[in-house]
Amino acid sequence: MPWVSTVAAFGVLACLTLALPAAAKSMWNTDKLYTECSRSSARCASYLAAVVDTANEAAVIATQKLVICLPPRAKVEKLRKVVLKELEVQPQARASSAASVALRALKRKWPCAKQ
């Protein structure tokens, strides 16, 4: 059952997050996100794909609803451009975690219809 491994992974991540000091809760900060996405790096692509997958998986587990509804055959390059634009247009967003900025930008660009 694939959901069992997903639930286990979230449990491990939750435990790790609780064990970290407050200043170390984010693996990436927004400066790292901006740097990697400005270069069109594979790290940026991987990070954004993980944000979408994790957000939707967590939402489905909690509510049975998706939070980001990408169009069919969406390219990670488009995700990168959306998040990079958010970081450039909203410089104050750099005070937030990289994941929260990416998630906010992607949810705004591709919201899901009321389910």
Q: What is the pLDDT of residues 84-100, one digit of tens each?
A: 999 999 888 777 888 88
Could you tell me where the DSSP H helices lie in the chain? 2-19, 30-38, 42-63, 76-89, 98-109
Please tell me the predicted confidence (pLDDT) of residue 43: 92
**33-47, pLDDT tens digit by residue?**
999 999 988 999 999
Locate the domains of the chain by residue range: 2-14+29-109
Please tell me the predicted confidence (pLDDT) of residue 11: 40
Please tell me the predicted confidence (pLDDT) of residue 79: 92
Please tell me the predicted confidence (pLDDT) of residue 110: 93
Residues of the chain with pLDDT under 50: 1-24
Whether residue 86 contacts residue 104, with contact meaning beta carbons closer than 8 Å, is answered with yes
